[in-house]
Structure 1
Amino acid sequence: GIEDFYTGALGDLVAADLGALGSPVGAADLAAHRALRPAPLSVATQAGRLYNSAPPTQGIASLLILALAEQAGCGPGESFGHVHTLVEATKQAFLWRDAHCGDAAYMARDAQGLLDDADARAAMAAQIDPDRALPWPQPSQWGDTCWFGAADAQGQVVSAIQSTYFEFGSGLVLPQTGITWQNRGASFRLAETGWNALKPGRKPFHTLNPALAELTDGRVMAYGTMGGEGQPQTQAALFSRHVWHGMDLQEAISAPRWLLGRTWGEDSTTLKIEDGLDPAVYAALEQAGHVVERVGPLTAMMGHAGAVVREADGALYGATDPRSDGGVAAW
């Protein structure tokens, strides 16, 4: 079983290969590892209760974007108000994330406490100017991910995500087992102290954040995407379109998306937007101070999103991203 990976024969092979390849991770580190099952973060909204993963992930950012945008008054679907409010909510969420989010054992601020504090969230939402863009950029985070979701007839709904971080992780394939060793530790800062500084036993900040929502109408929705900085933004786009504005789930995923900042394969920190929105929306965003970069239709930099929804009566439906090679299957 899973213990064999850390302390059994398989663990011995892993440790031996890591040592031969020059890794400082050894048998004692594997044996000392313990998987944790922290409670998910959640926030109550008018549409229902939204869930996401706890630190050291950026799940707090995904939940804050939707909570702040709802409180600030997100405009109608595909309008300037819709895109602008979600982008500005993203900035507020990322500012908090980048200042406070990491290994929970080292955090001075409580992520769930913020989500439960209506006054604190109202103060953050009040920072959103409905007409003007907050100057950007801030430093970006890297990431690379694959999301998948599932639902069954018994009512179980799963939102899951995994990553080796860089393409092919660390680039090390362990010869005796064929295991590709991941590279999440690369996100640590090589500093003595401070945010995300490398320390023994510390968990690195990372971007993986599978989302799930229990809606007031009885639906349960699992949704997510790959794409580092873009994950919370894509989640906000598809959730707001489908749940707030009633757009068909596949259309909500296929419709033009935006990305504030940098994602894998891109270095610029502009507000990148796909083609396909009303031309007046692009013009209004630029007028408001956004540095808009048109990137063409259906670009992979916008992530590979998907969603599975279970209706209150047990009916299931799902959608996948035309930007990727994903799919939806039922059996």
Structure 2
Amino acid sequence: NAIGYAEDGIAVTGNQARTTADKLAGLRDVPGFAQTFLVDGAPPAAGHRLRQPALARTLKTLAETGLQSFYSGPIARTHAEFLAAQGSPLRREDFAAYGAETVTPLSLETAQGRLYNMIAPTQGVASLMILGLFDRLGVAQGEGFDHIHGLIEATKRAFLLRNAGLGDPRSMAEPAQDWLRSDRLDRLARQIDPARALPWPHDPKAGDTIWMGAADAEGTVVSFIQSVFWEFGSGLTCPETGVFFQNRGAGFALAPGPNQLAPGRRPFHTLNPALAHLKDGRVMAYGTMGGEGQPQTQSAIFTRHVTYGMDLQAAVTAPRWLLGKTWGAESTTLKLEDRFDPALVDALRQAGHAVELLPAFSDLVGHAGAVVRHASGLIEAASDPRADGAATCY
């Protein structure tokens, strides 16, 4: 259980050890970070037992008094005082005003079934647009030039619209669901050149995330995503509670538009857990971390498994790509893992893509996963060998 893991400790993963070392210079002096995540002032080694006693005490308090105390009780007061001391504008009233929302997701009908994703200010609409545009290209076979080039070009069209107009839904010029109208997708699909790459780059959207999926015997399927934005969020960690704080406010801008900083607004962010009800009765939950790469990885896994029939684990393991910047990357090239067929890489270069090769199983192309529940009740699950995750059944 969570209290036990915080109190007794967890084994530091290789990914956490590497990330802590990579980001140490920027985080070492951030209040609360060192005493929570470092060992004698140094990054923990992989396998080290990392204990978080302050967090364990907080979790015990929540178990005893109820989760609402995080927002309106002593824990909220402690957090508000800590953040105010660090210069944050957040106050107790902001914690008390928070409430989760139940919303109707965005949806799109394709040849494979009805696809779902999250509403603005997430980039869920971009993920759906990519698959909707690709569905219109009529690519008959997977893994060749037409497949990879088609998804990349669909990504560009979706990202151009996303970057120009996506943000707090109360500030957008039109609802994101309208971007998924058939006539609009038809028009955008006709603009895709099947042989040539649209010039790139354009402004990227960053992020860092984890995705989880679950399915049960009763037919419930869940696609879940959570993020603190950067690897350790803001790095600010309250010594009394062991809680560290995200920095999604970095998604705001001062320029007028749907992401302009203003009271009560929510900035654009990259989180978008995906789910599909397929025409053959399967339900598929899938997703990934990776900021700008999330919609791209989703499209790779979905088309490989659903459109072209690749085994679920093989679809997650297969080589992937990333257009533009994302978590941990600086260049805006088309990045391909070096496991792709060299002939395909050459064809993409000849089409005008600025290709950069990545090592096999690179973190830059995301840490993905998927769960599929068949109409018969059979459940499949896949986890990414690039990540610290796992696919389990019990």
Post-superposition shift, 1:9? 2.1
Equivalent position of 1:134 in the other structure: 198
Post-superposition shift, 1:241? 0.3
**Which of the residues 151, 154, 176 maps onto 2:218?**
154
Q: Is the 8 A contact 1:309 1:317 kept in 2?
A: yes
Spell out, residue by residue over 1:78-136, the C-alpha distance to the aligned partner (whole angstroms, 9 max, x if none).
10000000000000000111111111000102211221x21111001111100110000
Q: Is the 8 A contact 1:210 1:224 kept in 2?
A: yes
Q: Is the 8 A contact 1:144 1:226 kept in 2?
A: yes
Residue correspondence of structure 1 range 1-331 to structure 2 within 5 A: 1-115=66-180, 117-191=181-255, 193-331=256-394
Q: More displaced, 176-185 or 17-26?
A: 17-26
Post-superposition shift, 1:197? 1.1
Q: More displaced, 106-115 or 151-160?
A: 106-115
Local SS of the residue matching 1:276: coil
AA aligned opposite 1:269: T
Indicate the RMSD between aligned Cα atoms, in angstroms: 1.0
Q: More displaced, 201-210 or 170-179?
A: 170-179
Structure 1 runs (4+) greater than 6 angstroms displaced: none
Post-superposition shift, 1:210? 0.4
Local SS of the residue matching 2:291: coil
Tell me, in whole angstroms, the C-alpha distance in 2 between the residues paired with 1:217 and 1:42.
Answer: 18
Q: Where do 5+ consecutive residues of structure 2 fail to align? A: 1-65
**TM-score of the superposed pair, with normalisation by structure 2:** 0.82
Tell me, in whole angstroms, the C-alpha distance in 1 between the residues paired with 2:73 and 2:139.
Answer: 53
Local SS of the residue matching 1:235: helix
Q: More displaced, 171-180 or 275-284?
A: 275-284
Spell out, residue by residue over 1:144-174, the C-alpha distance to the aligned partner (whole angstroms, 9 max, x if none).
0000000000000000000011121111001
Q: Is the 8 A contact 1:148 1:160 kept in 2?
A: yes
Which has more radius of gyration?
Answer: 2
Local SS of the residue matching 1:229: helix
Equivalent position of 2:8 in the other structure: none
Post-superposition shift, 1:287? 1.0
Tell me, in whole angstroms, the C-alpha distance in 1 between the residues paired with 2:138 and 2:152.
Answer: 13
Tell me, in whole angstroms, the C-alpha distance in 1 between the residues paired with 2:344 and 2:84.
Answer: 55
Local SS of the residue matching 1:90: helix
**TM-score of the superposed pair, with normalisation by structure 1:** 0.97
Post-superposition shift, 1:39? 1.0
Tell me, in whole angstroms, the C-alpha distance in 2 between the residues paired with 1:265 and 1:99.
Answer: 24
**Count of residue pairs the alignment pairs up:** 329
Local SS of the residue matching 1:6: helix
What fraction of aligned residue pairs are identical, expressed as a percent? 58
Q: Is the 8 A contact 2:171 2:257 kept in 1?
A: no
